[in-house]
Amino acid sequence: MNKVIHVDPENPSAEVVNLAATMLKDGGIVVFPTETVYGIGASATSCIGSQEIIDIKMRPKNKPLPWLVDGEGALDTYGVDVPEYAHRLALAFWPGALTIVVKAADVVAREFRDDRDTVALRSPDHELVQELIRANGAAIVTTSANTSGQPPATSFQELEERIIAAADIALDGGETPHKLASTVVDCTGPEPIVTRVGPISAEAIMAAATAQ
């Protein structure tokens, strides 16, 4: 039976965090709120979790899943040849609603990369998710918890029943603060390219990237 658990996103109980983290470590699928939209995730150490998420979401198989990480240091853990401006962006906006795309390091498995060998990383400004990452002991691969092509859920009530049913645990944290998917910046070239505008504007991105 699938479990729906109410959680205080700003002050989650250790019991809920440990339960969800144990599920992630065991290869399970967890639905949870972030500060942007609701996500559906698996541990980056799971050999089957990412494929399950793609199947549940009905997401194109050639579109790799982003990773939720604990902070700026993850750029050099999971990325290679990371430009200095990417670090400036992370220091300016992480934790926060910014996804940074970098060239993937060898530790990133092939199934998590796109055809350019990149990986998308974000450190969320959300206490529950940060505690999940720490308790899991690894990054969490995730995407918005909705059928591909449908609007992302910004509250638990907006989640599709089939998404909740497909998860091993679904954490109900009410509404998300931003109600908007993260800003995405491609940091694989000599300068940043904003590929999706979210809560952080393109102007703010360029200002932070070029700050000295």
Encode pLDDT of 161-172 as tens digits: 999 999 999 999
H-type alpha helices, 27-124? 49-57, 74-78, 84-93
- Give kind and range of the element (H or E) at residue 169: strand 169-172
Among 211, 55, 54, smallest CA distance to 142 is for: 54
**Rg, Å, the chain Cα set:** 16
**Within 13 Å of residue 124, how many CA atoms lie on the same side as its CB?**
32
Distance between CA 191 and CA 86 in Å, rounded?
Answer: 9
Among 99, 117, 109, 114, smallest CA distance to 39 is for: 99
- For position 7, what pLDDT does the model report? 97
Buried b / exposed e along 69-97 (16+ C-beta atoms within 10 A): bbebebbeebbeebbebbbbbbebbbbbb
Distance between CA 17 and CA 131 in Å, rounded?
Answer: 7
Q: Decide if pLDDT at 51 tops 90.
A: no
pTM for the model stands at 0.95
Work out the average pLDDT over 85-111: 95
Reported confidence tier of residue 2, pLDDT bands at 50, 70, 90: low
Q: Decide if pLDDT at 182 tops 60.
A: yes
- For position 211, what pLDDT does the model report? 87
- What domains, with CATH codes, occur in the chain? 1-70+123-179 (3.90.870.10), 72-120+182-212 (3.90.870.10)
